[in-house]
Copies of this chain bind each other. A is one copy, B any other.
Amino acid sequence: MKDLYEKADILMEALPYIQRLWGKHVVVKYGGSAMKDEKIIHTIMQDVTLLKYVGVNPIVIHGGGPEINRMLEKLSIKSDFHNGTRITSAETMEVVEMVLAGKVNKNVVSMINSMGAKAIGLSGKDANLIKAKKKISADGVDLGFVGEVVSINTKLLLELTSTGYIPVIAPVGFGDDGNSYNINADTVAGEIAAAVKAEKLMFLTDVDGVRMNPEDKDTLISIIEVDHIYRLIEQKVIKGGMIPKVMGCIKSIEQGVSKTHIVDGTLPHSIILEIFTDKGIGTMVTA
């Protein structure tokens, strides 16, 4: 019986969070290194399905680096990186698009559908969802078909979410020049969250959030304000690979997203544990 009461308490713990998010959009960026274990991906997609059923409107943006690498390798196409960005030749772009829009995207879609929700896969080309243009690198290096977002077709997304669908988006943009562009998935997630005025933007990565002491799990910060982040960067508490992550959160907040989260996507059910429990499991960044 005690067991049952705990069950009830846990469901009730979720209620105020459901109420606050009801009818709102939650954008989930998932991919890359966090996307390794099939079983865990499965729990993540269950979370997305649960969100939809309790009245929240999730939108998923996925990456797909490892899958792209595997295919490039099979095709013996070499691909260099510059400051963490893949230099994208026409030949590479073709593979990137094919793998993202034709493989990873459809896998995510079918996984969600098999749980009883209705997902629709989209690339930036569908109804001009993501208009893009060539990204000019600050240091003059030609990155090829690496793009940046010019505009988002918000109307399409709102039509789909309000009709009951979960949009699953591959971060491929489409230029007025007729070219496809490879865009950083975090950036796409941020732009889409801003476009739909999302209540939450969640980055599912392979770290558990911002820690006061990177070596110590127990120093994880559950909630942090933008100002505080800047201070921690100055104090070199936040450093290295964590800096672009928190800067992405800050940018989205500046674009009108209410809250951004950095969560460890290698843990099962990381979305609902972060959203529907009092303590959460990652770091939430607020204005």
Residues of A participating in the B interface, judged by any CB pair closer than 8 Å: 4-8, 10-16, 18-19, 22, 43, 46, 49-50, 53-55, 74-75, 94, 97-103, 105-106, 109-110, 113-116, 118-123, 125-128, 156, 159, 163, 165, 172, 174, 178, 180, 268-269, 272-273, 276-277, 281
Q: Within the complex, which residue of B5, B99, B159, B277 is in contact with A4, where a contact is CB–CB below 8 Å? A: B277
Q: Within the complex, which residue of B15, B100, B118 is in contact with A53, where a contact is CB–CB below 8 Å? A: B15
Considering only CB atoms, which chain B residue lies closest to A5 in the complex? B268
Q: Are B97 and A12 in contact (CB under 8 A)?
A: no
Q: How far is the CA of A19 from the CA of B50 in the complex (A)?
A: 9
Q: Are A106 and B101 in contact (CB under 8 A)?
A: yes
Since A18-B53, A118-B127 are in contact, a sample of 11 more A-B pairs with Cβ atoms closer than 8 Å, ordered by chain A residue number, is A4-B281, A11-B11, A12-B46, A19-B116, A53-B54, A54-B55, A75-B75, A110-B178, A120-B156, A121-B126, A127-B165
Interface of chain A, main secondary structure:
helix
Q: Looking at A13, A106, A122, A163, which has the most chain B CB atoms within 10 Å of its CB? A: A106
**Chain B positions within 8 Å of A156 at CB level:** 120
Q: Are B127 and A119 in contact (CB under 8 A)?
A: yes
Q: How far is the CB of A155 from chain B (nearest CB, A)?
A: 10
Q: A11-B50, A102-B98 are in contact. Are A120 and B118 (CB under 8 A)?
A: no
**Chain B positions within 8 Å of A74 at CB level:** 75
Q: How far is the CB of A246 from chain B (nearest CB, A)?
A: 23
Q: How far is the CA of A269 from the CA of B6 in the complex (A)?
A: 10
Q: How far is the CA of A161 from the CA of B125 in the complex (A)?
A: 18
A-B contacts, 11 of them at CB < 8 A, read A7-B277, A18-B54, A54-B55, A101-B101, A101-B106, A106-B123, A110-B174, A113-B128, A120-B156, A121-B126, A159-B163
Q: How far is the CB of A123 from chain B (nearest CB, A)?
A: 6
Q: A5-B268, A19-B116, A114-B178 are in contact. Are A94 and B98 (CB under 8 A)?
A: no
Q: Are B10 and A10 in contact (CB under 8 A)?
A: yes
Q: Are A269 and B103 in contact (CB under 8 A)?
A: no
Q: Within the complex, which residue of B94, B99, B268 is in contact with A8, where a contact is CB–CB below 8 Å? A: B268
